[in-house]
Amino acid sequence: MQRKANMKMLKSLSNQVYDYIVRQIKIGKFEPGDKIVETDLIEQLGISRTPIREALIQLSSDGILNSIPRKGFFVVRFDPKQVHYNYLIVARLDSYAAELVIDNMNADDYNKMDATIQTLDFAIKSRNYELYNDQQEYFHDVYLNKCENTELIELIHSLQRKYVRTAIYSRDEEKLYAFLLKVNEEHRMILQYFMQHALADLTQTIIDHWSMNKTNINVDFKF
CA separation (Å) from 30 to 89, 120, 175? 26, 24, 24
Residue 9 predicted with pLDDT over 80: no
CA atoms within 13 A on the CB side of 141: 10
Name the residue among 20, 37, 59, 24 with its Cα closest to residue 161. 59
What's the pLDDT band for 2 if we cut at 50, 70, 90? very low
- Spell out the domains of the chain, with CATH numbers in brackets: 2-75 (1.10.10.10), 80-220 (1.20.120.530)
The mean pLDDT value for 73-81 works out to: 85
CB-based contact 142:112 (threshold 8 Å): yes
More reliable by pLDDT, 164 or 15:
15
User: How far, in Å, CA of 32 to CA of 24, rounded?
Assistant: 11
More reliable by pLDDT, 148 or 81:
148
Residue type, 72: G
Alpha helix ranges (H) inside the chain:
2-26, 38-45, 49-61, 80-101, 107-125, 129-144, 150-162, 173-196, 199-215, 217-220
Query: Whole-number mean pLDDT of the chain?
Result: 85
Least confident of 2-11, 19-28, 213-222: 213-222
In the prediction, which pLDDT does 32 show?
Answer: 86
Residue 12 predicted with pLDDT over 80: yes
User: How far, in Å, CA of 182 to CA of 189, rounded?
Assistant: 11
> Residue 157 burial by CB count (10 A; 0-12/13-18/19+): exposed, middle or buried?
middle
What's the pLDDT band for 219 if we cut at 50, 70, 90? very low
User: How far, in Å, CA of 111 to CA of 106, rounded?
Assistant: 9
In the prediction, which pLDDT does 129 show?
Answer: 81
Residue 22 predicted with pLDDT over 90: no
In the prediction, which pLDDT does 164 show?
Answer: 63
What's the pLDDT band for 78 if we cut at 50, 70, 90? confident
Give residue-wise pLDDT tens across range 102-150: 999 999 999 999 999 999 999 999 988 878 888 998 999 999 999 999 9
- What global pTM score does this model have? 0.74
In the prediction, which pLDDT does 221 show?
Answer: 43
Q: Residue 75, SS3?
A: strand
Name the residue among 53, 56, 50, 49 with its Cα closest to residue 21. 56
